[in-house]
Structure 1
């Protein structure tokens, strides 16, 4: 009996302590459904440049250059039935698909 209690105390004292996380989930990740991807990308670009780069697999300057090159080919017109998807949204969704292989944005 005393040996099992002593063993339990030794094991309890010997286990390494986990370091507390500073953040469990990033703030932008929690708000992604409410904000939509255009606002999300704008917030990432301004506040979290490394997350922006990871999300689209390119930095903001390269994205802007690519957008200016392909914009004439991917721009659509609004109709009376609905508003067209912006070239910015089209390109960001395409890049995200190419980076991850996911057919849905979220």
Structure 2
């Protein structure tokens, strides 16, 4: 059991030392391309899928007003846009 803890600690040290943006450029390009070609309602589709998969999230969404739902969708869409825009910056992502 002690050896397992040591291995876990060592793997945590290794993961901390790795570059947080270790994703190759071609993968970042794929992500950017996917977002550029995504449907305009991508955030709505993500939220619908989450609600379909998780009953607790579906109940949460059902309790939101139309304005709150629109705010959530817009916030998710803006988050996706910002993450892709700053995909090369670990601090901003």
Instruction: Output the TM-score relative to the length of structure 2.
Output: 0.33
Greater relative CO (CA pairs within 8 A, separation 6+): 2
Instruction: Output the TM-score relative to the length of structure 1.
Output: 0.30
